[in-house]
Amino acid sequence: MRGRLLQNAILLACFLGFFGAAVAIQHRGLENVRKNPPFVETWLLSGRSGQMLSVMSLRYDLVTADFLWLRAIQSFGGRGMTNRDWKPVYNMFDTITELDPYFQEAYTFGNMVIGDEGGRQQEGLQLLEKGMFKLLRQYRIPFEGLYVANWQMRDMKKARWFSRMTLRRKDVPDWVPRVAGYIEIEAGEFYIGFSRFVGNLMQALDAKDALLEGMALQKASETLHKWNRRLMLQAVDEYTSRTGRLPASLQDIAAMPSLQDYEAPRISRLIGLAELYAQALGKPGISDEVLPGYTLPSPGELASLTISTTATKENRSMMKLEDLVFRGSLVRQSGIPQSPDGSPYMLNLSRLGFRFGESKDLIMSVKEAEADLKSLLAAARFVIEQREKELGRKPKDLREVFYADFKTTEPFGGTWTYNPATGEFKSSSRPNL
């Protein structure tokens, strides 16, 4: 027994000794890594090292750039961004791209290391700008700039600039215009964004692609909805400035300056013009499976639409008619605009409790407000069910459920009803929901 205890003690001591030594060696190695700034290699000269290395490489600039590229990958993979000193990193990729100005991967990878990993988005963007003016036919670098400027820096002015540079490249894929349209809309440039999606619809009609037609109409509809809502929110702001109170309905803001003699497109006119031009060119037009859910032109509106016979004779492509269709869909009007889905707009009264400008759902179409009401009902019913399980019976009123009076305003201006006998919670304006 004593021998076994002694043996176990020796094994434990050996284990602790080896484990302690391993921890000490690991700690010393980590300390050495922390003392050495990453990416600082023996080849990296101070300042514009690319100019000096170009002379020293004896016209083997591309070979030198390839060698430094391998060293850069080794350095990044081996050390990472332990010391986030961006300047040596920028100099490294600047040197590589000075030696080989057309090294696309050096620009994009350098931006990732400097911006995503190093947290220096502005400097990473500078590297992309340098590459963008070297590789004039390729879309990838300006598209990377678009991504960084919009989704990481939230600089819409730069994102729009990179977006336009991307669209001018020879190899730009057909999906990039849809991203460009999104950028314009996010920047509040609805006029340009809607035009982009009209172009997408024309392209889809040429290709006879129902899926792309649906995507284009959906994006055009979303753009118009945001466009209309911005006009109405401006009118709400004008109303509150004049009266000192929020409007009770959209009719209160219909006479405000923002809603007088303004120009905006209509989905019904867009669909009608697209159908007429497609018919004139002998094309099938918008697929029937795409049209449900959008405001279709009335017989009177369809009769009022005119198309250019000269344009249809000179062009056999819908894409060539993009500008005509876009301009024809614009209408100068006054008052509350038409909703893209055919459902009238309304003031969502349940959102009036929010500070103005904080809620994007203050103005909705009736269909959207009904969906919002369903969400409110579902959330309240869930809480009631949970409270019923806790009590072992039906709550006697809503105050017993929420521990306070239920003050959330019903979106349509109705009232909430609760039946303590059945536990049913409903809205008086939409009792069937």
Query: pLDDT tens-digit profile of 103-121?
Result: 998 898 888 888 877 788 8
pLDDT at 321 over 80: yes
pLDDT tens digit sequence for 390-419: 988 999 988 888 888 888 888 888 888 899
Kind plus residue range of the DSSP H or E element containing 372:
helix 366-391
Which amino acid does the sequence have at 290?
Answer: V
Q: Does domain 34-172 have CATH number 1.25.40?
A: yes
pTM (2 d.p.): 0.67
Asked if the model's pLDDT at residue 127 lies above 80, the reply is yes
- What is the share, in percent, of the chain residues with pLDDT greater than 90? 15
Give the residue-averaged pLDDT of 87-92: 76
Please say if the pLDDT value at position 97 is more than 50. Answer: yes
Task: Kindly report the length of the chain.
Answer: 433
- Max distance between CA atoms of the chain, in angstroms, equals 108
* pLDDT value at residue 255: 92
Sequence spans of domains, the chain? 34-172, 189-342, 364-427
Higher pLDDT, residue 28 or 387: 387
Task: Among 202-211, 346-355, 359-368, 391-400, name the one with the lowest average pLDDT.
Answer: 346-355
- Of the listed ranges 27-36, 158-167, 188-197, the one predicted with least confidence: 27-36
Where would I find the H helices in 281-351?
A: 299-304, 309-314, 322-329
- pLDDT: is 377 or 47 the higher one? 377
Close Cβ partners of 168 (under 8 Å, ≥ 6 residues apart)? none
Dist CA 340 CA 190 (whole Å): 14
Mean pLDDT of the chain: 82
* Higher per-residue pLDDT: 201 or 11: 201
Stretch 258-278: mean pLDDT: 91
CB proximity list for 188: less than 8 A, separation 6 or greater:
230
The CA distance from 316 to 275, in Å, is: 14
Cα 7 from chain centroid? 66
319 in Cβ contact with 209 (< 8 Å):
no
Answer whether 266's CB lies under 8 Å from 273's CB.
no
Q: What is the pLDDT of residue 119?
A: 80
- By the 8 A CB rule, do 241 and 367 touch? no
139 compared with 174, residue with greater pLDDT:
139
Q: Which of 166, 168, 167, 169 is nearest to 148 (CA)?
A: 166
- Model confidence at 358, pLDDT cuts 50, 70, 90, reads very low
Q: What is the pLDDT of residue 88?
A: 72
Q: Which two tokens stand for residue 14?
A: 């050996």
Task: Return the pLDDT at 42.
Answer: 42
Q: In Å, how far are 366, 401, 409, 431 from 350, measured between CA atoms?
A: 13, 20, 5, 17
419 pairs with which residues across the strands?
A: 424
Which is more confidently placed, 25 or 219? 219
Q: Are 411 and 373 in contact (CB under 8 A)?
A: yes
How many contiguous H segments (helices) and E segments (strands) does the chain have?
A: 17, 6
Measured CA to CA, the distance from residue 263 to residue 292 in angstroms comes to 26
- Give per-residue pLDDT as tens, 205-260: 998 999 999 999 999 998 998 899 889 988 988 998 999 888 888 899 999 999 99
The confidence score (pLDDT) of residue 36 equals 53
Pair type for strands 345-347 and 363-365: antiparallel
Q: Is the pLDDT of residue 289 over 80?
A: yes
pLDDT at 154: 81
Q: What is the pLDDT of residue 38?
A: 46
Q: Which residues neighbour 264 within 8 Å (Cβ) at sequence distance 6 or greater?
A: 224, 227, 228, 231, 330, 331, 333, 337
The least confident of 85-99, 163-177, 230-244, 291-305 is 85-99
Residues 30-87 have pLDDT tens digits of: 565 455 544 444 445 555 567 777 777 777 788 888 888 887 777 666 555 445 566 7
